[in-house]
Amino acid sequence: MRTTSVGVFKIATKGPGDVSGLMRLIEQGAIDPTSILAILGKTEGNGGVNDFTREYAVAALCNALAPKLALTPEAVEQRIAFVMSGGTEGVLSPHLTVFTRQQVETPPAGMPGKRLSIGMAQTRDFLPEELGRSAQISETASAVKAAMADAGISDATDVHFVQIKCPLLTSERVEAAAARGHKTATISAYSSMAYSRGASALGVAVALGEIASDIRDEDVLRRYDLFSKVASTSSGIELMHNVVIVLGNSGTSASEFEIAHAVMSDAIDAAAVTEALGSVGIRPGAQAKAGRELVNVFAKAEASPDGTVRGLRHTMLEDTDISSTRHARAAVGGLIAGLAGTSAVYVSGGAEHQGPAGGGPVAVIARLS
């Protein structure tokens, strides 16, 4: 059985094209570029269809890493999983989280138990008419299982966060489907982001046995009682397939990191954030336990679709000036930042079928010395 060592590095950025922090760590020898498996980033765009900060950030990273890996930028994008989440409203601070993975001969002494492991997989490219529907669900479920195997995780309860980058529809993609005699789930590019996120999340739930596999097309964005407790999906214009990253704990990992999660029932569920932090030995508003250091927090956020939070009306869905996803990111980002003691946290908007309606998963990675 192989033993892997997973590393996690959080790097502040000055803009979506800023790769200086990553390059510095590579030049210092802290990061071996050949070991980089995935990079998750928060960029200061609007998080919408026309948020090109995501594509800009990926292009900058690929161009910077290409000479280090003796590859073309296009080949770098195929080798490394890039997930850029646009939108740093409120106190959220733009940053990158770089995950590395290397094989080691023997695990280090004094680090018993399961440790952080990471696995990656991709689906095939989808046709426009497949987005938000059963094809995307089933293909995603298969990719999640493949990513679990890649991470050396066999028990679904050891999976604590599944990050997915998924496609969206554009006018050209809708027209292409129509020309072939097919209708898409929606003709709205913005609405298609939710359909794609939701179907991808349901794929995670199916793969992990959280729900049954008999999901119908009409269940997407309607059956909100169906959800995954660990899925985090983010849609973008820059791809037509799903990129799946599984984060969990494995006995085959020699990592000095650990991950845990909880589920927020709504946008102000501080207790769930506290639970997630506590599961890896981090106490809100106080120093971590001896030998524990907070690395990052990953969470989903959305405006509750029923228009209320604990019985009180919210106006996030009725604001025609600011998207509800931006409101939700700001609110949940502020809550988590206050409890975690840092504003460089990864909060992604749009939590359709990712946790209960109006809530979402929250995962925490800590370093164990």
Task: For residue 234, indicate whether it is catalytic.
Answer: yes
Q: Does the annotation flag 197 for ligand binding?
A: yes
Place of tokens 């909060």: 347
Place of tokens 């601070």: 93
Helix (H/G/I), strand (E/B), else coil: 203 = helix
Q: Does the annotation flag 66 for ligand binding?
A: no
Report the sign of the C-alpha dihedral through residues 235, 236, 237, 241, in that order. Answer: negative
Choose among 117, 93, 163: nearest CA to 2: 117
Structure tokens at 100: 């590395």
Q: Does the annotation flag 349 for ligand binding?
A: yes
Q: Does the annotation flag 235 for ligand binding?
A: yes
Q: Does the annotation flag 27 for ligand binding?
A: no
Instruction: List the alpha helices (DSSP H) in the chain.
Output: 20-27, 53-69, 73-79, 134-151, 171-179, 189-207, 270-279, 324-340
Helix (H/G/I), strand (E/B), else coil: 321 = coil
Task: For residue 165, indicate whether it is catalytic.
Answer: yes
Q: Are 167 and 239 in contact (CB under 8 A)?
A: yes
Q: Does the annotation flag 113 for ligand binding?
A: no
Q: Does the annotation flag 90 for ligand binding?
A: no
**Phi, psi at 107, each rounded to 5°:** -70, 150
**CA-to-CA distance for 197 and 137, rounded, in angstroms?**
10
Q: Does the annotation flag 73 for ligand binding?
A: no
Q: List Cα–Cα distances, 184 to 15, 91, 133, 170, 192, in angstroms.
A: 35, 37, 9, 11, 9
159: how many CB neighbours lie within 10 A of its CB? 28
Q: Does the annotation flag 324 for ligand binding?
A: no
**CA-to-CA distance for 129 and 126, rounded, in angstroms?**
8
Q: Does the annotation flag 302 for ligand binding?
A: yes
Catalytic residue among 10, 145, 165, 300: 165
Bridge partners (DSSP) of residue 69 are: none
Catalytic residue among 134, 192, 232, 234: 234
Q: Does the annotation flag 85 for ligand binding?
A: yes
Give the active site residues: 165, 234
* Binding site per annotation, positions for Mg(2+): 302, 351, 354-356, 359
* Binding site per annotation, positions: 54, 85-86, 197, 234-235, 302, 329, 348-349, 351, 354-356, 359
* Binding site per annotation, positions for substrate: 54, 85-86, 197, 234-235, 329, 348-349
